[in-house]
Structure 1
Amino acid sequence: MMAPDQSLKKHVADLIKPDRVHRDIYTDPDIFDLEMDTLFSRAWMYVGHVSQIPNKGDYITTRLGPQDVIIMRDNDGEVNIFHNRCPHRGPHLCGNSRGNTKRIVCPYHAWSFTLKGKFFGMPFPEEYPQECLKSEFDLTRVEDVEIYRGFIFARLKPGGVDLMTYLGEARSGFDDIIDRSPEGEIEIIPGAIGHRYRANWKMMFENLNDILHPMGAHASAATAINSVSNPAKLHPVTKSLVGSSKMMPVLPKLQSKITRYGHSYATGLISVINQEIPKGDHYHALEKAYGAARAEEILKTDRHLMLIYPSSNVNGAQCTIRVVRPLSVNETEVWGYAFRLKGAPEEVTRNSVFYCNIATSGFSPVVADDLEIYERAQQVHERGMTDWVNVARGYRQEADAGRNAPPPATSEEYIRNQYRVWLEFLTGDAPCQA
């Protein structure tokens, strides 16, 4: 990827206004390339969980911004991340999504590497110049890797703030999942579910904390749910994912929590609605482990969809995480993973898997509603039917009051905050960059 010139960065700066953004940010391939070179290379990105590679030689493959990578546990038990590319002729070294190996061997010409990424050997070494046997043929390592309570984060370009500073209050989203385990340990349930949509990656991040959109976007899903013969027998997760007009008077009482680096979540869904905490098997397992007060505190944790900008979103109550992978300016891939809470009843695991399916599967009526909206909006932007996208809801009230108090969850301030951070990364002004 060529280094972006200053004229492109200046152009980008003209596309973000306090209350609107230009359609080019969704449609311009050069801007997408700039995002990959800056935001997705310099921000800390969630890439996996240590439970996916519990043993020596275990590996998974994934993407880190624009690069395909291998996450591997070596013989010393350390977690390493390498570019999934052979330094000889360039093919992927690992084609499977996960596995276990004693040595990394290229499927093309059988060059081999240790679990620490060191060059090990190749067939007919005498036919290669001596310089081919030097350390420059080690695998390309991702140097900036940090682990927070089992969650693995990395960034392609070193420099800038550490992971704890970058996450800030947003790390409570990961705490929320782990704290729900009576043993304080979790593991990813093997497998994942995902989908692709034909629109820009930012569509999803704009939508996830939009507390108003279910009233319109999911009206068809709500109609289908309400038409079943006995709605009371529906899974509670199904009902919770579909908005109802009865919630409208409550929404202004909910708050949106926003952090420095683009992360956000909504709060108040439990406390404002006075939702009762069911004191079933999960509660009693937590009570036995931590006491009644702490058990109730854990289950009343009131965060809705913690966005970890720009890579993922965490749902602590449902013990899931979704990862967003931009593929091109108008194609995005999303993968969902469910967690098993050690020591928790099996029902909690089933609910986690159920939620992961209904919130991530392209066959889910809820997801299908969202994808339809994303793709319609992308088509409008690409056809140039309008130049500017309005993100002004709540802007005037917040401008008058200042940003000292948390905005209501009905505000689009969390979107405006994302674009302030986006602009800092793309223009090189972010304090989290070197």
Structure 2
Amino acid sequence: MEIKDLIIDDRQRGVFRVHRSSMTSPDLFQREQEQIFNRCWIYLGHESEVENPGDYRRRTVVGRPLFFARGRDGHVRVFLNSCPHRGALICRRDAGNADVLQCFYHAWSFNTHGDLIGVPDQDAYGPHFDRGELGLKEPPRVESYRGFYFVCFNPYVEDLVTYLAGARDYLDLIVDQSEAGMRMVAGSNKYTMKANWKLLVENSLDGYHLVPTHQTYLDYISGLGTDDSGQTAASRIVGTAKALGNGHCVIESPVRNGRPIAHWHPLFGEEAREPITQTRQRLVEKYGEERTFRMADTSRNLIIYPNLVINDIMAITVRYFEPLAPDHMEVTAWHLVPREESETMLATRLDSFLTFLGPGGFATPDDVEALESCQIGFRATETEWSDISRGMLNPAKSTDELQMRGFWRQWHANMQGLSKTNVQDGPVRETEAALAIGNDD
């Protein structure tokens, strides 16, 4: 099947289908690496993870070993984690603090600016040996927005702010919840799934599955003071779904189960009521009631294309997934919190985070089971198509699938060598078609 035929997007009839080979084909998986992951901005980490001079963190991004470090000048730099001498890893620990980073193989040493500062027995080299040519290499592009660092291996990619498009507003809503700035809590959850990475994109934006899949959590919450027991998809208060451009998408919903930032729930305990009320009042004084309502009284699941999800729901989870094979991915999740939060409120937030989104929480095991079940189901190759048409002819709700269609349309354009597409529902206007065809770099 040709790539152009992998998606049926009939906007007149309201039919959107994706061929399941997109989830199973090794050839398409390899093309994704070339056309998407090697060309798009990919999340690396948060500035708070390297708070002090000499702090470093090790990551794998698009299969490449990287690390980022804060230099003595206060700047954050990103390096390929490979010694320019013979290729061994420089950073062999996930995190640490050091003035000097030394390769264990031949003891070449580098500072946190990437300069080669030590070579054992350097006199053995000839007169043209130049340390300046053998410093640590950086990815072609590194940029940050509101503390979130991204890398790109395409030197000609558009700037990060332009790439983020409408997702910037939602990052701002998250970051502005804190007067002192946000920070990542030390530690992470890391696990693997035997499923295609795009299934996790879909799942992270899927409001339709909450009631049937996570009913145990709803029953648990109802026992703490909110009567969500017996809730059905028809009775649930739903929000909206949006495609934000460049494949970024979001669902927003009214808060039912509390948010530690400024929406109290019995889950948090009576002692948390007053601090949460005070936080909300400060937000109103700074941003007004309308923006505070968006921050505190609505939750959001945001996908920053292609593989970063930020769940700003009962807690703030930053979830990155690295595709390893058509049916295998590695997921890492961190917890983002306001710097000024008290120890008591931080403990409340962490407990809320782990209860639903932790590796042993109510949601994550359910979702892993669901996605791995889908991947097994794809072996029934006679069932060729997955349907993602829900709500296509109606105003989008969070239980519909506009947000998934926005992601898939961008994926489809990228896989055909295009950088832009019309990600919204409705007829494609001639100017949008021309824009898609004209951006084939």
TM-score bracket, normalised by the shorter chain, equals: 0.7 to 0.9
Separation in 1, partners of 2:74, 2:358:
34
Give secondary structure in 2 for the equivalent of 1:266. strand
With over 3 angstroms needed to count, the CA separation of the structure-2 counterparts of 1:90 and 1:289, relative to structure 1, is same
Q: Which amino acid aligns with 1:342?
A: R
Separation in 2, partners of 1:50, 1:289:
24
The one of 2, 16, 19 equivalent to 1:11 is: 2
Residues 170, 264 of structure 1: 8 Å contact kept: yes
Alignment of structure 1 residues 263-302 onto 2, 5 Å: 263-270=248-255, 277-278=263-264, 280-288=274-282, 291=285, 294=288, 297-301=291-295, 302=298
> How far did 1:107 drift?
1.6
> How far did 1:125 drift?
3.0
Separation in 2, partners of 1:126, 1:386:
67
1:245 equivalenced with 2:231 (yes/no):
yes
Separation in 2, partners of 1:277, 1:358:
17
Once the two structures are superposed, residues 33-64 of structure 1 have per-residue CA deviations (whole angstroms, 9 ceiling, x without a partner) of 22222311222222111111112211101122
Separation in 1, partners of 2:230, 2:66:
42
> How far did 1:172 drift?
2.5
Once the two structures are superposed, residues 346-365 of structure 1 have per-residue CA deviations (whole angstroms, 9 ceiling, x without a partner) of 44422432243244433223
Once the two structures are superposed, residues 254-307 of structure 1 have per-residue CA deviations (whole angstroms, 9 ceiling, x without a partner) of 321111111222224249x9xx95463133145347628737742543242111
Separation in 1, partners of 2:385, 2:43:
31
Give secondary structure in 2 for the equivalent of 1:212. helix
The one of 242, 245, 266 equivalent to 1:257 is: 242
Residues 180, 286 of structure 1: 8 Å contact kept: no
Separation in 2, partners of 1:122, 1:188:
36
Give secondary structure in 1 for the equivalent of 2:165. helix
TM-score (norm 2): 0.82
Q: Which amino acid aligns with 1:306?
A: L
Residues 177, 283 of structure 2: 8 Å contact kept: no
Unaligned runs of 5+ in 1: 1-9, 399-405
Paired residue for 2:202? Answer: 206
Paired residue for 2:20? Answer: 23
Separation in 2, partners of 1:372, 1:200:
13
Alignment of structure 1 residues 160-199 onto 2, 5 Å: 160-181=157-178, 183-199=179-195
The count of aligned residue pairs is 402
Separation in 2, partners of 1:429, 1:293:
39
Residues 209, 305 of structure 1: 8 Å contact kept: yes
Residues 53, 74 of structure 2: 8 Å contact kept: yes
Residues 283, 295 of structure 1: 8 Å contact kept: no
> How far did 1:135 drift?
4.3
The one of 403, 406, 415 equivalent to 1:426 is: 415
Residues 325, 334 of structure 1: 8 Å contact kept: yes
Moved more, 111-120 or 370-379: 111-120
Q: Which runs of 4+ in 1 moved over 6 A?
A: none
> How far did 1:128 drift?
4.7
Separation in 2, partners of 1:304, 1:105:
43
| Aligned-residue identity in percent | 28
Once the two structures are superposed, residues 76-121 of structure 1 have per-residue CA deviations (whole angstroms, 9 ceiling, x without a partner) of 2111111111223322211211111112211222122232223333
TM-score (norm 1): 0.83
Residues 144, 154 of structure 1: 8 Å contact kept: yes
Separation in 1, partners of 2:110, 2:376:
46
Once the two structures are superposed, residues 114-133 of structure 1 have per-residue CA deviations (whole angstroms, 9 ceiling, x without a partner) of 32223333323344566664
Residues 252, 301 of structure 2: 8 Å contact kept: no
Q: Which amino acid aligns with 2:241?
A: S
With over 3 angstroms needed to count, the CA separation of the structure-2 counterparts of 1:205 and 1:109, relative to structure 1, is same
Separation in 2, partners of 1:16, 1:85:
39
The one of 67, 70, 74 equivalent to 1:73 is: 70
Paired residue for 1:402? Answer: none
Residues 67, 83 of structure 1: 8 Å contact kept: yes
Separation in 1, partners of 2:174, 2:349:
11
Root mean square deviation, CA, Å: 3.0
> How far did 1:173 drift?
2.6
The one of 100, 103, 112 equivalent to 2:109 is: 112
The one of 43, 48, 51 equivalent to 1:51 is: 48
With over 3 angstroms needed to count, the CA separation of the structure-2 counterparts of 1:187 and 1:222, relative to structure 1, is closer
Paired residue for 2:425? Answer: none
Once the two structures are superposed, residues 364-409 of structure 1 have per-residue CA deviations (whole angstroms, 9 ceiling, x without a partner) of 23211111111111112245252222212223x15xxxxxxx5222
Give secondary structure in 2 for the equivalent of 1:30. helix
Residues 214, 244 of structure 1: 8 Å contact kept: no
Separation in 1, partners of 2:351, 2:169:
23
Moved more, 276-285 or 11-20: 276-285
Paired residue for 2:267? Answer: none
With over 3 angstroms needed to count, the CA separation of the structure-2 counterparts of 1:118 and 1:277, relative to structure 1, is closer
Unaligned runs of 5+ in 2: 10-15, 265-272, 421-438
With over 3 angstroms needed to count, the CA separation of the structure-2 counterparts of 1:305 and 1:11, relative to structure 1, is same
Paired residue for 2:436? Answer: none
Give secondary structure in 2 for the equivalent of 1:70. strand
1:102 equivalenced with 2:103 (yes/no):
no
With over 3 angstroms needed to count, the CA separation of the structure-2 counterparts of 1:133 and 1:328, relative to structure 1, is farther
Once the two structures are superposed, residues 155-185 of structure 1 have per-residue CA deviations (whole angstroms, 9 ceiling, x without a partner) of 121223221122122123322232222x241
1:328 equivalenced with 2:307 (yes/no):
no
Once the two structures are superposed, residues 316-358 of structure 1 have per-residue CA deviations (whole angstroms, 9 ceiling, x without a partner) of 3523322222222221122221223133344442243224324
Once the two structures are superposed, residues 133-162 of structure 1 have per-residue CA deviations (whole angstroms, 9 ceiling, x without a partner) of 454432220132222122212212122322
Q: Which amino acid aligns with 1:376?
A: S
> How far did 1:190 drift?
0.8
Q: Which amino acid aligns with 1:367?
A: T
Paired residue for 1:5? Answer: none
Give secondary structure in 1 for the equivalent of 2:335. strand
